Structure 1
Amino acid sequence: MRAVAVKRHHRAAPFILMFVLLAGLTMAASFAQPSPAEAATATADDIGEGQKLFAANCATCHGLGAQGQDGVAPSLIGVGAAAVDFQVGTGRMPMQASGPQAIAKDVQFNDQQISQLAAYVASLGPGPSVPDAEAVDPARGDPAQGMALFRTNCAMCHGSVGGGGALSQGKYAPPLWQTTPTHIYEAMLVGPQSMPVFNESNITPEDKRDMIAFLAEQRDGAAGGLALGTIGPVAEGLWAWLLGMGLIVGFTVWIGVRSS
């Protein structure tokens, strides 16, 4: 019995046990960590085709290895597929001309080419992936909760209902009514232009979907009334009051002139 007890309490036993526990935790973390959505679908052929597209259309500014150039274009290593899908999918990249910020324009690539470019950039370093359809589905969100979140985090630049607004130094926050739910989600993930990054820690995926649901309702004209900033009865009531008072003052002046 003494020999068995000595073997069970060998000096190396605590170290072996600690090693086994650390190895188990490492394996569990690797399985629990979410992988980018494109990692399961992007093939070596996609990455290769994306590299060719990048060399032909993006390397002039970003460099052949996407390392960027000082004063010309930033490095794309680690920006992830979401940044590429947003910038190229909205036509902001490739840029037509340098300026305070990239302007959205007609998209120059098809969906397959955009996916291939995103796959190549994602292969250079880990970064935010393109969200799936469920994550950006407005029907699954809560517009009321999204309104509170949007007006707390976004309204100071994009306006209370996502109509956009001017910023300093020639920059601006674009209107969001025609922006797709996927691109809205990606913009929050990567923070393009002057926009801050809202990662999954400070605004959860569910909160992002709620904000998308709120913006979708503004796109559908749920605020009602004329297009006076899509604010609805408040703006329309102000204009009615101004016009009505103007007519009354003008009519009063006309009567005074006629009577004199």
Structure 2
Amino acid sequence: MNALAARRRHPAAIALLLMVALLVTGGLYAALAPEPAAAAAVTADQVSEGQALFRANCASCHGLNAEGNAPDPGQEEEGAYGPTLVGAGAASVHFQMETGRMPMAAPRPQAPRVNQVEFSDEQIEAIAAYVASLGPGPARPDEEWLDWEGQGDAGRGGTLYRSNCAMCHSSAAAGGALTRGKYAPTLEDVEPVHIYEAMLTGPQNMPVFNDANLSPEDKRDVIAYVKQMHATGNPGGLSLGNLGPSSEALFIWVFGLGIMIGTAVWVGQKGA
């Protein structure tokens, strides 16, 4: 017993116990840690390919190393420059390029959606990997958060949509005009992943709804509401663009007033 007590009091005993504890903790972490995310599958060759593609197609606006280009005097509102992409993340690159908004054909207040995408999925993945390597930023969402049909709550999503999105995209997600030639695009026929990435990254004039503002579950519910609303259609009659009372009033003035004038003219002619 005296020998055991003496070993416990040895100066190296504490250091030895700490080393054993660290080894056990490290072993347990290695055995129980979850599998790395998909981003870990990015290779050095993919980043190198993305860098080459970026410099050939994006650097003229965003800078050789994605540091951005300062706008010329008086050009701030015309989009004649590219912001820095350091910290933009893979989600931002995927959204802008998969929707055809980037590269822009010409400077304008807002990049429109283009159905004809210039790059393949592999090329977009490579450019996204390169941009993601420049600094931490939003990653692409997991499939779990895009399963709006199986796990989304459209009723809850409608409440979130009306509180956060309807003032720009309209209550029917048909889009709407903003200032200085800008607009909120329609959300009809937009892929769920692009709706999610838009909320996550805040493209164009859209605010950023990160996970502190809208959780992944919230974003999925918003997608469920938008997709279900557009799938329902317009059982009540003509949608008139789903633009609300403005289009309805215009319809009444043009057609309703026209019918009234035509009727008055016809009655006058018959009375003569």
Q: What TM-score, normalized to structure 2?
A: 0.76
SS in structure 1 of the partner of residue 241 of structure 2 = coil
> 2:176 and 2:159 mapped to 1: Cα distance?
19
Letter paired with 1:76: L
> 1:109 and 1:102 mapped to 2: Cα distance?
17
Distance 1:248-1:62 versus aligned 2 partners, 3 A rule:
closer
Q: Contact (CA 8 Å) 1:223, 1:231: kept in 2 or not?
A: no
Distance 1:162-1:73 versus aligned 2 partners, 3 A rule:
same
Distance 1:154-1:125 versus aligned 2 partners, 3 A rule:
same
> 1:151 and 1:91 mapped to 2: Cα distance?
28
Cα distance, 1:85 vs structure 2:
0.2
Distance 1:36-1:258 versus aligned 2 partners, 3 A rule:
farther
| 1:139 equivalent in alignment to 2:149 | yes
The match for 2:91 is 82
Distance 1:52-1:241 versus aligned 2 partners, 3 A rule:
closer
> 1:34 and 1:74 mapped to 2: Cα distance?
35
Letter paired with 1:187: A
Letter paired with 1:116: A
Q: What TM-score, normalized to structure 1?
A: 0.80
> 1:220 and 1:178 mapped to 2: Cα distance?
10
Distance 1:161-1:47 versus aligned 2 partners, 3 A rule:
same
The match for 1:92 is 101
| 1:191 equivalent in alignment to 2:214 | no
Distance 1:231-1:96 versus aligned 2 partners, 3 A rule:
closer
Cα distance, 1:66 vs structure 2:
1.0
Runs of at least 5 residues in structure 2 that lack an aligned partner in the other structure? 10-16, 72-80
SS in structure 2 of the partner of residue 94 of structure 1 = coil
| 1:227 equivalent in alignment to 2:236 | no
> 1:170 and 1:125 mapped to 2: Cα distance?
32
SS in structure 2 of the partner of residue 70 of structure 1 = coil
> 1:67 and 1:35 mapped to 2: Cα distance?
33
Distance 1:73-1:102 versus aligned 2 partners, 3 A rule:
same
The match for 2:270 is 258
The match for 2:78 is none
RMSD: 4.2
Q: Contact (CA 8 Å) 1:36, 1:129: kept in 2 or not?
A: no
CA displacement, residues 112-139 of structure 1 (integer Å, 9 cap, x when unaligned): 1111111111111111111122211220
The match for 2:74 is none
Runs of at least 5 residues in structure 1 that lack an aligned partner in the other structure? 10-16
Q: Contact (CA 8 Å) 2:174, 2:243: kept in 1 or not?
A: no
The match for 1:48 is 48
| 1:153 equivalent in alignment to 2:153 | no
SS in structure 2 of the partner of residue 68 of structure 1 = coil
CA displacement, residues 60-109 of structure 1 (integer Å, 9 cap, x when unaligned): 22122111121221111111100000111111111111111212222110
Stretch of structure 1 that moved more, 130-139 or 188-197: 130-139
| 1:116 equivalent in alignment to 2:129 | no
| 1:66 equivalent in alignment to 2:69 | no
SS in structure 2 of the partner of residue 176 of structure 1 = coil
SS in structure 1 of the partner of residue 93 of structure 2 = helix
Aligned length: 260
Q: Contact (CA 8 Å) 1:188, 1:198: kept in 2 or not?
A: yes
Q: Contact (CA 8 Å) 2:93, 2:127: kept in 1 or not?
A: yes
> 1:150 and 1:36 mapped to 2: Cα distance?
33
Distance 1:241-1:192 versus aligned 2 partners, 3 A rule:
closer
The match for 1:12 is none
Q: Contact (CA 8 Å) 2:51, 2:127: kept in 1 or not?
A: yes
CA displacement, residues 33-54 of structure 1 (integer Å, 9 cap, x when unaligned): 9999542322222111111111
Q: Contact (CA 8 Å) 1:38, 1:81: kept in 2 or not?
A: no
Identity level (%): 53
The match for 1:13 is none
Distance 1:230-1:258 versus aligned 2 partners, 3 A rule:
same
> 2:63 and 2:254 mapped to 1: Cα distance?
57
